[in-house]
Structures are given as structure tokens and as C-alpha cells.
């Protein structure tokens, strides 16, 4: 029997398997609002370097584990760390899980020290990956975003190296500190002041993402040659005055 001449029963099994795999990917992505284009072949338009603010993310930590950088006590991160380098479309959607390329930590073994420090997981538990079930935060970012970036950033190693290099080139935490914005559990800062500080330093408009009035993420956007461009204008999730919480030790050890 040639692969194309399937019996009706076999055909049904194949259709069910394909449907199940798509459901799994959508579940892995955690979004069902139509903004994710799974397994997209169309090339993306720009990059979004998504940085997270540990002071805000770590406030949600309830239980601690060895993989959660929020649980490192005085060694926990106090600067913006990397969430991911995301390829995006200009229309506000983005591709995800573009190729079957399972994450292999060995490929980035020489980068692990830098990744632990600047691209740490800020939660416990495994993230969903596109095809291989659960994995590390890095596995998730590679399979979901790295495989779609690869026409520009190349293989797994190059994706992580490129992201680290872009992160080092644009030190957002330093810019904010120099403009007088420091982590604080009492101060509120004007959202416009934070945006202006980045605009003045990098001549680009970032996107701020907030959770309960606290800055949770800052996104810098790039053309595909890594020249800076403005992030797409959208309604900010941040109020007029925002906080930049200082890290305070959280969570109960459970490992
Ligand atoms: O915003 C919630 C989650 O959606 C994914 N996202 C968002 C904006 C964008 O341009 N691209 C994108 O992928 C992120 O998913 P994650 O990488 O965390 O799985 C973001 O957290």
C-alpha cells in the first residue's frame, strides 16, 4: 500500500492524530484569541525583545523550587531579565511553533552561565513546549519563538546567543537607573517618564506591560536587521503612575 492509499479506518486515525496535535499546540501556547499563528510559514515582520521585571513577577511566587530564580534569596535577579525574543507580525499577531526542533540543552552548554543569570526562569514547574510536552523555560522559548525566528537567527545556539547580545547592547535597567527610576516598594513613577527615558536613550518607543499597577515587562522592538524600531502602539496595560517593585524574598521552599 502506498502512503497515499489509506483505508478509511487508517485515514480516520491520521485525521484524529493531526487534530490532537493541533489541540496540543494551542494548549501549549495557552492562547485561543486568534492572535497566534501556529506553525506559520509566512515570514514575520519584526522582533520583540521581551524583558521581565523580577520584582513584579517574583511577588507571585508562593512555593520555591531549584529552577526558580526568584528563590535565590539575595542572589535573585534585580534587573530586567529576558523573557524571550519573539518574532511578530505588524498586524498584532505572531507565529508560534514553526518547526519541529526539540530543544537540546547540550547545544547551548557554553551559554548556560549567562542564561541562568540573564534569562532565568521566574517560576517553578515546567512550561509547555510545542511538540514535546513539558520542558524548561528555555525549551519553551526556543520551540515556540526560536523556531519561527530561525530564518534570521539560525539554529538554537544562535537564537540564544543573538538574544543575549541584543540584551547586553540595550541595557534598559541602567537607562532607567540613570534617569532616577530605581526599584522601590513605596514610590510610584510616571509611566510617561519611564517611556521617555528609553526614548531618549535609544530613540525608540518601548512597550510597557503592567500587572496591578506594577511594571511587569518592557518590550524593545527591532527590524529584522536588529536596528531598533518603535513597538506597535496599543493601549497600555499600565496606569499613569506605575511602581517598579524591589525584589523581596518570597515563597516557601519545597525542594
Ligand atoms: O502576552 C501573553 C503571552 O503571549 C505571547 N506573546 C505575546 C506577545 C507577542 O508579541 N508574542 C507572543 O508570543 C507570550 O507567550 P510566551 O512566550 O510567554 O509563551 C506572552 O507571554
pLDDT digits (tens, 9 = 90+) for 201-252: 999 999 999 999 999 999 999 999 999 999 988 888 999 999 999 988 766 6
Closest by alpha carbon to 244, among 195, 154, 181? 181
Question: 84 CB under 6 A from ligand 1?
Answer: yes
pLDDT for residue 10: 54
| 48: CB partners within 8 A, 6+ apart | 85, 86, 87, 88, 207, 219, 220, 221, 222, 231
Question: 95 CB under 6 A from ligand 1?
Answer: no
CA of 7 to the centre of ligand 1 (A): 41
3-class secondary-structure state, position 229 = strand
d(CA 67, CA 121): 7
pTM confidence score: 0.87
Question: 88 CB under 6 A from ligand 1?
Answer: yes
Homologous superfamily of domain range 40-242: Ribonuclease T2-like (3.90.730.10)
- The per-residue DSSP string of 129-166 comes to -SSSSEE-HHHHHIIIIIHHHHHHH-SHHHHHHHHHHH
pLDDT tens column, 12-32: 444 444 434 443 443 334 343
| 9: CB partners within 8 A, 6+ apart | none
CA of 146 to the centre of ligand 1 (A): 13
To 5 degrees, how large is the angle CA 214–CA 219–CA 224? 175
pLDDT tens column, 56-90: 999 999 889 999 999 999 899 999 999 999 999 99
Annotated catalytic sites, by residue?
Answer: 83, 141, 145
pLDDT of 4 over the 80 cut: no
Question: 94 CB under 6 A from ligand 1?
Answer: yes
Query: Which residue's C-alpha comes closest to atom 19 of ligand 1?
Result: 29
Which atom of ligand 1 sits closest to the CA of residue 86? 11
pLDDT of 255 over the 70 cut: no
Question: 207 CB under 6 A from ligand 1?
Answer: no
pLDDT, mean of residues 159-176: 98
CA of 111 to the centre of ligand 1 (A): 23
pLDDT tens column, 128-145: 889 878 899 999 999 999
pLDDT for residue 223: 98
pLDDT tens column, 87-130: 999 999 999 999 998 999 999 999 999 999 999 999 998 888 89
pLDDT of 194 over the 80 cut: yes
Amino acid at each position: 500500500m502506498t502512503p497515499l492509499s489509506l483505508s478509511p479506518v487508517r485515514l480516520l486515525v491520521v485525521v484524529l492524530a493531526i487534530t490532537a496535535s493541533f489541540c496540543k499546540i494551542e494548549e501549549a501556547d495557552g492562547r485561543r484569541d486568534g492572535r497566534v499563528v501556529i506553525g506559520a510559514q509566512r515570514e514575520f515582520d519584526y522582533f520583540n525583545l521581551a524583558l521581565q521585571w523580577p520584582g513584579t513577577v517574583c511577588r507571585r511566587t508562593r512555593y520555591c523550587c531549584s529552577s526558580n530564580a526568584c528563590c535565590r534569596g539575595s542572589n535573585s535577579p534585580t534587573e530586567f531579565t529576558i523573557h524571550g525574543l519573539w518574532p511578530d507580525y505588524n498586524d498584532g499577531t505572531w507565529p508560534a511553533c514553526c518547526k519541529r526542533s526539540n530543544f537540546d540543552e547540550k547545544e547551548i552548554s557554553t551559554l548556560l552561565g549567562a542564561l541562568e543569570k540573564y534569562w532565568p526562569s521566574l517560576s517553578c514547574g515546567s512550561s509547555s513546549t510545542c511538540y514535546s510536552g513539558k520542558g524548561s523555560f528555555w525549551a519553551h522559548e526556543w520551540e515556540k519563538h526560536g523556531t519561527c525566528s530561525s530564518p534570521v537567527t539560525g539554529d538554537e545556539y544562535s537564537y540564544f546567543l543573538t538574544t543575549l547580545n541584543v540584551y547586553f547592547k540595550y541595557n534598559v535597567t541602567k537607562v532607567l537607573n540613570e534617569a532616577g527610576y530605581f526599584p522601590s516598594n513605596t514610590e510610584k513613577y510616571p509611566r510617561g517618564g519611564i517611556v521617555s527615558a528609553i526614548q531618549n536613550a535609544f530613540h525608540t518607543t518601548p512597550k510597557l506591560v503592567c500587572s496591578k499597577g506594577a511594571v511587569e515587562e518592557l518590550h524593545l522592538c527591532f527590524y529584522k536587521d536588529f536596528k531598533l524600531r518603535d513597538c506597535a502602539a496599543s493601549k497600555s496595560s499600565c496606569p499613569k503612575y506605575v511602581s517598579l517593585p524591589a525584589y523581596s524574598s518570597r515563597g516557601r521552599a519545597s525542594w
